Structure 1
Amino acid sequence: MAEHNAQLPNSYLKGPVVVFGTGLLGTSIGLGLSQRGLRVLLSDPSPSALSVAVDIGAGIPLGTDPGVWPELVVVAAPPDVCARVVADALERFPAAFVVDVASVKGAILRELAELSAKTPLDLSRYVGTHPMAGRERAGAVSARGELFNAMPWVVCPHAGSSAAAVQAAQNLGLDLGAVLSQFSPEEHDEAVALVSHLPQMMASLVAARLQDAAPHALSLAGNGLRDVTRIAASDASMWVPIMSANAEPIAAILHAVHEDLIKLIGTLDGPAAPGASLAMAKLISAGNAGQARIPGKHGGPAQPYAWLSVLVDDEPGQIAQLLTEIGEIGVNLEDLRLDHSSGRNAGIVEISVLPAKRDVLIDELAVRGWKVLQ
């Protein structure tokens, strides 16, 4: 058990790899690496979670064998316990590089520094990372070896990280098919506070307003409300440690949002006052400008796609048939959303295409008998 795996074709890591934590991310990492032929050893404080991860092929139990000498240890633990697991891994495996995949970096690094001040740790072997991937469902049973394919994987070395440790962290992301980027821990936490944590807070705040809403009011809900509140269904047990660990950057952004809200409330308190209409228009325009900066397809600049809606019967195979015929017409689908027609046993498929293709697609679908809602 003490020797490394042989170098595998098209594999950046040599192995073995130890994974602490067999939730969605840890098990998905184990599955992805195992599928490449790497030897993966798993550990989790929950015997049942570990058993599920082993049963679906993510690796084998680590146990307590002191003869295991991994190349890399991956810590897939929540932010509030992550630093302690990283510290234990650094001590237990003195020749291994150690990475974590938690969604915050600064708080973990600060806690590691405090732990190292009491019992010195070789933090040169540690690098924080964050795969920007997930699913609506948590746990090992939801894991997928392809979870990280083409998804961002942020490598966040600290000032003391060795070049070899950084390379090992990058190799992990490459072996899992991710797209690498590199941020400092501080840059990472500020970035995810804006693009990940703030949307969660705002979605939860909006959805909370719906608790006492009248059923007849909610019957009018469409895709706008669903889009805004989709992530409000997230697991509180996952988000509370994240919010606590990244509280300062999140709070800084929320203070700025609070100022904007105060201005908006003041405008709406006097909607007929001079300048009120201009203030409301500026708010919407600022939102337009910000939304346009979100990277589009393949990470490039956002494109001004055209939308059309197609009414489909709520029957098996209808959407598959529609997509097949769009392909036969020769139009590339850029995006798709599905809504349900209120009061009808039908669905509305909203389709995004290049503007030059919109009229062609409308005409061809109509010829084929589809009901296009323009």
Structure 2
Amino acid sequence: MTRLPVPTLPAPPVGVVGLGQLGGSLAAALVAAGREVTGWDVDPAARDAAAARGVRIGRDLGGVVVLAVPLPAMAGALEGLGVDPAATVTDLGSVKTPVLAELGPALGGRYVGGHPMCGTERSGHAATDPGLFTGARWALCLEPGTELPRWLRVAEVALDAGAEVVPATAAEHDDAVAAVSHVPHLLAAALAAAAGEAGPLALALAAGSFRDGTRVVASDPAFVTGMVQGNAGPTTAALSRVLGQLARPWPELVAAGHAVRAAAPAGRRPVRVPLDRTALLALGRAGGAVTGRLAAFVEGHLPGPG
């Protein structure tokens, strides 16, 4: 069993590349938590907004470097920047397997894939919110080649931002978010388009259920398209499962969906997990999350009564 050494050094600095909603919010949250943060964005307005929130602006980055850029820009995000060769690199992309395939060969165990499950339909630096990550689940990938001390350093960044860390592999992450994020974006688009075909009266009568079901349609279409196409295989499989459910008799479908929601465990059971890849992945697969560091262990919770 591989154990993580207990770090004795101070928390490393954090570099954030991309200062839009996610990157700008992360940089602001970390500054508020007392972390040393340097940020960069190609947009001068985004740089100015981050600087006003206490973020140091610069091209020289080290410690933990976070790529908060769109998926198509991920491969070239570090071009023209002075990145410490020893830095740990992570990202906030909504799909993990393609990013791992792009960055993994060059970065090896220095790369730790991440995806915070937060954000809104808004985008850009004007949507920055230092509280965006508070209580959010942040998937953090543990591949066979991931260097565990680096994984822990990225986990500490997520925890300092207020999130809870869910260990997973890239493939497990992509399968899971296809079901709970990517397909819902497609269903929201389909629901909105179908309601539009129903005419002005239908739209005028739309209330809470329609508003909740279509909220994410306001997201940038290019972002959503890149997300679902970047995770095409798992999203297609998840969408097929949804279509299979819709083919069921309606009373059965309604009852089945209600049963899933009703069976959700109430409460949280606190746990301590050793700093070991197998144990951490088991926590994530069971629906648990890491909430803090405790010597050679992490503390967290599993679903269920405390």
TM-score clears 0.5 = yes
**Aligned with 1:200 (options 167, 170, 185):** 185
Cα deviation, residue 215, structure 1: 2.3
Distance 1:186 1:293, change over 3 A: farther
> Deviation above 4 Å: which 4+ runs of structure 1?
86-89, 293-296
Superposition TM-score, scaled by structure 2 size: 0.78
Distance 1:21 1:194, change over 3 A: same
1:178 and 2:163 are equivalent in the alignment: yes
**Aligned with 2:253 (options 271, 279, 283):** 283
| Higher RCO by CA contacts (8 Å cutoff, separation 6 or greater) | 2
Aligned 8 A contact 2:185 2:217 in 1: yes
| Corresponding residue number in structure 2 for 1:111 | 102
Distance 2:28 2:10 in 1: 15
Distance 1:299 1:190 in 2: 24
What are the Cα deviations for residues 164-199 of structure 1, in whole angstroms up to 9, with x where unaligned?
111111111111121111011111011111111111
Give the counterpart letter for 1:147 in structure 2: L
Distance 1:106 1:299 in 2: 30
**Where does 1:118-267 land on structure 2 (aligned, <5 Å)?**
121-261=106-246, 263=247
Aligned residues: 261
Distance 2:48 2:234 in 1: 37
Superposition TM-score, scaled by structure 1 size: 0.64
SS at match of 1:84: coil
**Aligned with 2:56 (options 55, 60, 65):** 60
Cα deviation, residue 221, structure 1: 2.2
Structure 1: gaps of 5 or more residues: 1-11, 265-278, 301-374
1:49 and 2:46 are equivalent in the alignment: yes
| Corresponding residue number in structure 2 for 1:342 | none
Cα deviation, residue 213, structure 1: 2.9
Distance 1:223 1:170 in 2: 36
Give the counterpart letter for 1:166 in structure 2: W
SS at match of 1:170: helix
Larger radius of gyration: 1
**Aligned with 2:72 (options 61, 72, 80):** 80
What are the Cα deviations for residues 281-306 of structure 1, in whole angstroms up to 9, with x where unaligned?
2122112123334566x668xxxxxx
Aligned 8 A contact 2:31 2:37 in 1: yes
Distance 2:10 2:184 in 1: 35
Distance 1:15 1:75 in 2: 16
Cα deviation, residue 209, structure 1: 1.0
**Where does 1:343-354 land on structure 2 (aligned, <5 Å)?**
none
Identity %: 35
Does 284-293 or 69-78 show the bigger shift?
284-293
Give the counterpart letter for 2:88 in structure 1: F
